Amino acid sequence: MAKKGNIMVLKKIGILPLAKIYAILMLIVALLVDVVYLVLSIFDSTFWLGWDFIYLPILYVIFGFVVGGVGAFLYNLITTKTSGVELEFE
């Protein structure tokens, strides 16, 4: 039988740190999408507009920051009424 590790409960998430992490992750996703768009624009010149390469990552970062912050806020709000998420560490 496996030995059980320590169980800890996640009761609160920092809103700003999680928002920053989501923004960075969305920037990475946006840059990957930009690469795909650039490759597709080789085959169809109307597929890609020049400014898309600039404003798409900006929109993704803003969206990621807002969603990350709102998600952390909602998690913190819900965990005041319920118990948090149980995490098991070894």
Domain ranges of the chain: 13-82
Per-residue model confidence (pLDDT) at position 75: 95
Q: Which amino acid appears at position 8 of this protein? A: M
pTM above 0.85, yes or no: no
Return d(Cα 54, Cα 18) in angstroms, integer: 24
Per-residue model confidence (pLDDT) at position 48: 64
Per-position pLDDT tens, the chain of length 90: 445 678 888 899 999 999 999 999 999 999 998 888 888 878 877 666 677 788 889 999 999 999 999 999 999 999 999 888 888 887
Q: Which amino acid appears at position 2 of this protein? A: A
Tell me the CA end-to-end span of the chain in Å, nearest whole number.
14
Q: Which amino acid appears at position 51 of this protein? A: W
